[in-house]
Chain A
Amino acid sequence: MAGDVATAPSAPVAKEPKRGGITDRARAERRTAWLLCAPAVIVMLLVTGYPIIYAFILSLQRYDLRFPADKKFVGFSNYADVLSSHTWWTDVFNTVIITVFSVGLELVLGMLIALVMHRAIFGRGFVRTSVLIPYGIITVVAAFTWLYAFQPTSGFVPHLLGLSQDPFASRSGSFIVIILTEVWKTTPFMALLLLAGLALVPDELLEAAKVDGASAWQRFWRIIVPLMKPAILVALLFRTLDAFRIFDTVFIQTAGANKTETVSILGYHELITRLNIGEGSAISVLIFLMVILIAVLFVKGLGTSTAQQRGEV
C-alpha cells in the first residue's frame, strides 16, 4: 500500500494542478484512503441508512401483515395515532425514568470505581478483572440473574430483606430491579471511560493543591471534575443513548407488565408481536428522532464545555 503512494510524484502535471495545489501524490493517497474506507462506509450506509429510509416510507402507510391487502398510503396518520395515544407517552415517561436513574447512579458509582482503579496501591489488576465480568456478560443473562434473585419463588433477596410483596408485582418494584440490573451491568463501562479521563488529570496539579492545603473533597470538585468534564460528558452521552434504547432487561424481567414498557419494547410489540408494520415503523422513526435530539443536546454541551476550558486556561 505504501508502494503506490511513493510512485506518484514523477508524473507530469497533466491533471489540473490548480485545485489548491494538490499534488498527484496527495491525490493518489486520497484515492487509496477512500478505497480502503469504502467497504466499511458502504456497509454502514446500506445496513442502517437504507433501512431507516425504508422505515420512514413504511411509517406513511397503513400496513398490517395480518391484513396485507389493506396496504395503503396514509400520510402522517400513523404518527398522529402514536403521538395521541396514552401508551406512547407512558412509555416515553418510563424510558426517561429508567434512563435518568440508571445513568445517574452509574455516574456516581462509576466515578467511585474509577477512583479506586486509578489510585489503588495494590490489586489493580484484580479489580479490573472483576469489574470487566459484568461488562462482558450477556445482558439477557444479567437480567435473568437479577430476576431470579428478586423473584420470591426462586430468589434470596425477598427473604433477606424481609419483603412482604413480590417486587415484580408493583410498578416501582419492577423499576427498581430493572434499574439495579442496568446499573450493575453497565457501571463498569462508565468506570472505564471515566478512568481514561482521570488519567489525563496531571498528578503535579493535585500535589500542588494538596501542598496548598486543599482537602481531598476540594481537589475532587475543583480540579478533577472540571478537568474531566469532557470525559464525563462523553461517558454520559454514550450511556444515556444506550439506556434510552433499553430493551433486553425489560423484555426478560417484565416484558412491559405493570406499566414498565419502554419505547423500544413498544416498537417491538407493534412490529413483531402485532405485525402492525405501519404504526410500528412510525414508532421506530420517532425513537430515531429522539435519539438524534439527545445526541445533539449532548454534543452542544460538550462543545461549550471544551470551549470554556480553552477560554479559561
Chain B
Amino acid sequence: MGQSATPRQKVAWLIAIALVVLYALIPIAWMISLSLKKASTIGTDTGFFPKEATLQNYSDLFKSGSDFTHALINSFGIAAIATVISIALAAMAAYALARLDFTGKALILSGALAIAMFPAISIVGSLFNIWRNIGLFDTWPGLIIPYMTFALPLGIYTLSAFYREIPWELEQAAQVDGATPFQAFTKVILPLAAPGTFTAAILVFIFAWNDFLFANTLTSTTASRTVPATLAFFTGASQFDQPVAAIAAAAVIVTIPIIIVVLLFQRRIVAGLTAGAVKG
C-alpha cells in the first residue's frame, strides 16, 4: 500500500501521526512547563507556558537531607533488586516452558495468568499485618518481595515467548563441533537469549518503578519510601497545600529515565509487550 500513496494520503497520515504524538506529549510538556514556573507565581501564572522560567524548583529538590534524594535511591535500589530476582526466577521457568516437555505446563501458565489478574489491594491488609509481625514493614525487602512476585507473570510470559523463538538446535550443533555443554550454552545460547531477557527486565523494572499501592501501605519513613509514595505525601495531608512546583520538578526528574529507556529501546519494548500478549 505504501508505494501508491498520493500527496493527499501523505498529508492525511501526517495529520494522524501529529495527533497521536500531540496526544502523548502535551501532558509531558505541561509538566515540564509547570516545573519551570516560579513557586510563588503558581497561583497567578496559569498559562500553559511559564511567564518567567526558573530552575529553582529543581535545585530546591536536592537540598541536603531532602526526602526526594532518599526516595530516588529507594526506588532505584528496590526496583533493580526486584527486577534481578524476578527475571532470574522467570527465566528458569520460561526455559522449562519453552524448551522442555512436561505435564503441568498449562497449570503453571494459568497460575501465572491468575497472578497477573490478582487484585493487589486484596492482600495489602494481610501483608501489612504479616510484615509488622516479622519486621519487614518499612524495609527494602518488604517491597522487593511483592514487586518480584507480581512481576513474575509478566516475566514468565514475555520470556517464554522469546525463548520459543531461539533456534535451540544450535546448542547441539556447537557440541557436535566440540564445544563443551557449558561453552555451547554461554557462547551460543546466551547471546541469543540476552536481548529478550533484557527486554523483559525493562518491563519488570518499569512495573516496580511505577507501583504506588504497596509503596504507600508497606512503608512509613524515608528508610524505604519510594518516589510515588514520597510524591503523594510531599507535604500536609490536605491536597490544597501541596507544593505544586516542587512536585512538578520531581515528576519531571523521575520521568527522564523512562523517556531515555523508551528512546533507546522502543522497538524492544513493543516486541516484549506484544510477545507476551499474543498467546493470551
Contacts and interface: CB of A to CB of B under 8 A. Distances in A.
The answer to whether A and B come from one shared complex is yes
B63 interface: no
A267 B255 contact: no
Nearest to B49: A156
B104 interface: yes
B16 A129 contact: no
Main secondary structure of the interface of B (DSSP, over half): helix
Interface range for A: 35 or more
Given A37-B96, A116-B16, A196 B124 contact: no
B100 A39 contact: no
B10 interface: yes
B64 interface: no
B89 A140 contact: no
Contacts of B23: 113, 184
Given A121-B5, A133-B24, A247-B213, A141 B231 contact: yes
B95 interface: yes
A136 B24 CA distance: 11
Interface stretch (A44-52, A80-88, A97-105): A44-52
Contacts of B255: 133, 137-138, 141
A43 B89 contact: yes
A34 B102 contact: yes
A284 B228 contact: no
A234 B231 CA distance: 33
Nearest to B103: A30
A163 to B, nearest CB: 12
A50 B149 CA distance: 13
A248 B203 CA distance: 19
Contacts of A122: 13, 17
Contacts of A148: 30-31, 34, 244, 247-248
Nearest to A249: B212
A309 to B, nearest CB: 15
Interface string A109-123: 000010011011111
A195 interface: yes
B228 to A, nearest CB: 4
Nearest to A289: B122
B120 interface: yes
B21 interface: yes
B266 A129 contact: yes
B21 A126 contact: yes
A88 B117 CA distance: 22
Contacts of A245: 119-121
A227 interface: no
A154 B149 contact: no
B49 to A, nearest CB: 9
B152 A127 contact: no
Interface string B242-280: 001001100100110011011100110110011001101
A272 B25 contact: no
Contacts, number: 302
A285 B122 contact: yes
A231 to B, nearest CB: 8
B97 interface: yes
Contacts of B236: none
Given A2-B181, A37-B93, A125-B267, A196 B277 contact: yes
A133 B46 contact: no
A284 B124 contact: yes
Contact of A130 (B24, B90, B278, B280): B24
B124 A267 contact: yes
Interface in A116-168: 116-117, 119-123, 125-134, 136-142, 144-146, 148-149, 152-156, 158-160
A248 B228 contact: yes
Interface in B199-222: 206, 209-210, 212-213, 216-217
A187 to B, nearest CB: 8
Interface string A210-241: 00000000000000000000010011011001
B125 to A, nearest CB: 4
A138 B181 contact: no
B81 interface: no
A260 interface: no
Given A125-B267, A137-B255, A137-B258, A193 B17 contact: no
Contacts of B20: 113, 116-117, 127, 130-131
Given A33-B102, A125-B266, A156 B48 contact: yes
Contacts of A137: 28, 255, 258
B121 A268 contact: yes
Interface string A279-302: 011001101100100010000000
A47 B126 contact: no
A48 B24 contact: no
B129 interface: yes
A40 B92 contact: yes
Contacts of A37: 92-93, 96-97, 104, 108
13 contacts: A44-B112, A44-B115, A44-B149, A54-B130, A125-B266, A131-B24, A136-B259, A140-B227, A148-B34, A267-B122, A268-B213, A271-B124, A272-B124
Interface of A: 1-3, 5, 26, 29-30, 32-34, 36-37, 39-41, 43-44, 47-48, 50-52, 54-55, 58, 113, 116-117, 119-123, 125-134, 136-142, 144-146, 148-149, 152-156, 158-160, 184, 188-189, 192-193, 195-197, 199-200, 231, 234-235, 237-238, 241, 244-245, 247-248, 251-252, 255, 263-264, 267-268, 271-272, 277, 280-281, 284-285, 287-288, 291, 295
